[in-house]
């Protein structure tokens, strides 16, 4: 009998210990903080930088796109014609700059010298004509053989010839010196401006393709081929696939139980048995729904703070606005 009593007592003790451990382990699990929130995803509205008619729309709502994929394209015929014109202007400016840098041709200098000699000969002829008339007038009785009008006309021709010679001399000097440094610098600047115009037009041509900035899902297709695009009219609305987070709210009394970096598991109603790993990425420093004047302890405990739990969702199970349950681990990351 004593042995049986001891055996029964031992079994009862083991059962009691097992029940105590189970209850306390459940109690420990129940103490883990659980929050309820919704999936949040960043969204992007894409628009063309220029104003032109849309030529192509390449994706539909729900399509998965990768960074760099061309989603839509503009009609680029006008841009390509403008680029051709600007490139022709560059060629003209290059030749103009080359002409200035090479200076005067030998033939130009020879022509300037010939014109200088012709002007000297014309001046000599005008001087000779004027002296001849002056001598005839001086040697004729009473100076009546040559009128004053003839003298004045010859004098004027002599002055014109002198001025023409001075002009030809300066032209020869300029031909020998060549273009000014300022003229070369101006032509060089004009060439740089023409090249910048082509670069700008080429950039506009590149921007005629609307590309996905990141991996994303197409949420909305807002325009169609033939529509007039502009920077103020979005063409597509995208939901980024990364990052994703759960936006939840924690009360002030539980705020001390979570820390940035703390591990968490996210569960959804569509996959209740498949946890998605995450961690606390943001805890708001500002309370929401805060009364203007907090006067009682009950009001203080009603304050809530936004918490964002960042998650990795390679299978793309989480959708924007989906309800989710967040269970936190005991230790921070």
Cα separation, 296 vs 126, in Å, equals 117
Q: Judge whether 53 and 74 are in contact, CB under 8 Å.
A: yes
Cα separation, 41 vs 285, in Å, equals 21
> Sign of torsion, CA 114 117 123 129?
negative
Exposure string of 159-173, with b = 16+ CB inside 10 Å and e = fewer, is: eebeebbeebeebbe
How far separated are the first and last CA of the chain, in Å rounded? 57
Domains observed in the chain: 31-42+241-332 (2.40.30.170), 46-75+207-229 (2.40.50.100), 81-203 (no CATH)
Residue 216 to residues 43, 309, 316, Cα–Cα distance (Å): 9, 20, 11
Residue 31 three-state SS: coil
- Residue 96 Cα to chain centre, angstroms: 34
Q: Judge whether 112 and 172 are in contact, CB under 8 Å.
A: yes
pTM over 0.85: no
Full pLDDT tens readout for the chain, 333 residues: 565 655 556 656 666 665 555 555 544 445 678 999 999 988 999 999 999 999 999 999 989 999 999 999 999 999 999 999 999 999 999 998 888 877 767 777 778 878 888 888 888 888 888 888 778 777 777 656 777 787 788 888 888 888 888 888 888 777 776 677 888 889 999 999 999 999 999 999 999 999 999 999 999 999 999 999 999 999 999 998 888 899 998 888 888 888 888 999 999 888 888 888 999 998 988 877 654 444 444 555 567 889 999 998 888 888 888 899 999 876 544
């Amino acid at each position: 009998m004593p042995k049986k009593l001891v055996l029964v007592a031992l079994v009862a003790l083991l059962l009691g210990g097992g029940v105590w451990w189970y209850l306390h382990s459940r109690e420990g699990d129940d103490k883990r903080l659980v929050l309820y929130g919704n999936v949040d995803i960043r969204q992007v509205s894409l628009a063309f930088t220029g104003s032109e008619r849309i030529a192509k729309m390449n994706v539909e709502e729900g399509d998965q796109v990768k960074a760099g994929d061309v989603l839509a394209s503009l009609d680029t015929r006008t841009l390509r014609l403008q680029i051709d014109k600007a490139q022709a202007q560059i060629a003209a400016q290059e030749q103009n700059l080359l002409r200035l840098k090479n200076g005067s041709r030998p033939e130009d200098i020879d022509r300037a010298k010939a014109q200088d000699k012709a002007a000297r000969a014309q001046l000599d002829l005008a001087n000779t004509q004027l002296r001849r008339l002056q001598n005839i007038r001086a040697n004729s009785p009473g100076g009546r053989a040559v009128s004053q009008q003839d003298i004045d006309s010859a004098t004027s021709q002599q002055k014109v010839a002198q001025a023409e010679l001075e002009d030809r001399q300066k032209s020869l000097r300029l031909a020998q010196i060549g273009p000014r440094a300022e003229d070369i610098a101006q032509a060089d600047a004009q060439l740089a401006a023409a090249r910048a115009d082509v670069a700008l037009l080429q950039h506009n041509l590149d921007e005629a393709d609307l590309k996905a900035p990141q991996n994303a899902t197409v949420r909305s297709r807002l325009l169609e081929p033939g529509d007039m695009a502009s920077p103020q009219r979005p063409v597509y609305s995208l939901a980024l696939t990364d990052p994703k987070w759960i936006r939840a709210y924690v009360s002030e009394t539980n705020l001390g139980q979570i820390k940035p970096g703390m591990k968490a598991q996210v569960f959804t109603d569509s996959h209740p048995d498949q946890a998605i790993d995450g961690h606390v990425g943001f805890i708001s420093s500002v309370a929401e729904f805060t009364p203007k004047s907090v006067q009682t302890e009950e009001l203080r405990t009603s304050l809530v703070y936004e918490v964002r739990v960042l998650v990795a969702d390679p299978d793309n199970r989480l959708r924007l606005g989906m309800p989710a349950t967040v269970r936190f681990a005991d230790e921070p990351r």
